[in-house]
Amino acid sequence: MTRFRNSVRVRCVLGLAALLAVCVPSGAAQAAPASCQGADIPVTGVVSATMHGTLCVPAGGTADTVMVLVPGGTYNHTYWDFPYQPETYNFRQAMNGAGYATFVVDRLGTGASSRPPSILVTASVQAGAVHQVIQALRGGRIGGTDFRKVILGGHSLGSLISVIETGTYNDADAVVLTGITHRIVAQNLVDIFTSSLYPAALDPAFAGKTYDPGYLTTRPGTRGTDFYAPATTDPAVLATDEDTKDVFSAAEAADGLGVAALLPYSRQIQHPVLLAVGDQDRFFCDSLAGNCASAATLKAQEDPYFGSAACLHTYVQPGAGHDLNLATNTVPYQRAVRDWADTFVGTGPEPVTPPAKACV
């Protein structure tokens, strides 16, 4: 009798396992990885240099829309292509999983891109380089694909560069701006320049790499306070961030803030814009004024800085600091970007017609 009962139990377990194998949707399996390749794009202008980037195409090898992603100051491509727990923190991977190709760049002076004299590396020069990257992607000169549609995305300084690029050339179909608003918390911005930033040549991480004095980075141990909010910080993320930090030029910050934030150059943008911040961003969210209290309050503040063609949409991630990508609750923000991109651009070859009330 005991042998019979054990046999029944085994058959039941095997049957249940088979049933679960049939019922679990295929999407629950591990998604196939994107196909990625590096590229060095020759750029000309005030400086002749190469801008390095990595093109990743979703599994299957084809895509009609590419996101060009520009990191912020003291970051390189790693901000968008984060190596720690990529299923949570890797924005590039999330967008590839949603059907979008990505081209994550290293700004001039960072990562695998050329390093011109820092005085020549302004936000406007960076914008000109990004423009040439977009043209190369549209022309099939990167990866052999003529991308029909381009979404330009930036973070912090990368967003300021994206504003200048799009306001000048309007060659992206849509723009994602993260980690900026037009309300600068001046005291905190002064604090990071006077307390946290110093010449990269003085930092042990860049020893022997001959950075000129105009290239700046963060002092060890300061990134947590400046870029994160305590409630949404994973210590392992912060440690990886410190290990992969990079530089920016003082000249980038000068015209980035002066042109993109203060003019405001953003009114020149003629394509849809999504502006996303964490409500604990200490540089662009004023807790007393409450400008980042909700997407609605942020939109009310930002609307005057954009024309009607921008069809401005805003997103606020509760509890997140300046680095939206690296907050523990980053996934809803990734989803918001994907949903907005699907609404205004889409992954397919044909233009997308947004709903009638999409720009209200």
List of E strands, 165-246: 174-178, 197-199, 215-218
**What per-residue confidence (pLDDT) applies to 262?**
84
Contact 301, 291 (CB under 8 A): yes
> Considering the domain 35-184+250-344, what is its CATH architecture?
3-Layer(aba) Sandwich (3.40)
**What per-residue confidence (pLDDT) applies to 35?**
95
From first to last of the 360 residues of the chain, give the pLDDT tens digit.
444 344 434 343 334 333 333 333 333 334 678 999 999 999 999 999 999 999 999 988 779 999 999 999 999 999 999 999 999 999 999 999 999 999 999 999 999 999 999 999 999 999 999 999 999 999 999 999 999 999 999 999 999 999 999 999 999 999 999 999 999 999 999 999 999 999 999 999 999 999 999 999 999 999 999 999 999 999 999 999 999 999 999 999 999 999 988 888 999 999 999 999 999 999 999 877 778 999 999 999 999 999 999 999 999 999 999 999 999 999 999 999 999 999 999 999 999 999 888 887
Can you give the length of the chain in residues? Answer: 360
- Could you tell me the two tokens for 12? 């039941």
**What per-residue confidence (pLDDT) applies to 31?**
61
Give 261's DSSP letter: I
3-class secondary structure, 177:
strand
**What per-residue confidence (pLDDT) applies to 3?**
42
Give 335's DSSP letter: H
- Could you tell me the two tokens for 63? 């895509």
Beta-carbon neighbour count of residue 132 at 10 Å?
A: 17
Please work out, in degrees rounded to the nearest 5, the angle formed at the alpha carbon of residue 256 by the alpha carbons of 244 and 219: 35
Contact 328, 334 (CB under 8 A): no
Tell me how far apart the alpha carbons of residues 82 and 330 are, in angstroms, rounded to a whole number: 12
> DSSP labels for 96-162?
HHTT-EEEEEPPTTSTTS----GGG--HHHHHHHHHHHHHHHHTT-STT---SEEEEEEETHHHHHH
- Check the CA dihedral 111-116-118-124 and report its sign: negative
Contact 286, 188 (CB under 8 A): no
Contacts of 84 (CB under 8 A, 6+ apart): 236, 237, 240
Question: Packing angle between helix 157-169 and helix 123-138, nearest 10 degrees?
Answer: 60
Burial class (CB in 10 A: 0-12, 13-18, 19+), 187: exposed
Domain boundaries, the chain: 35-184+250-344
3-class secondary structure, 334:
helix
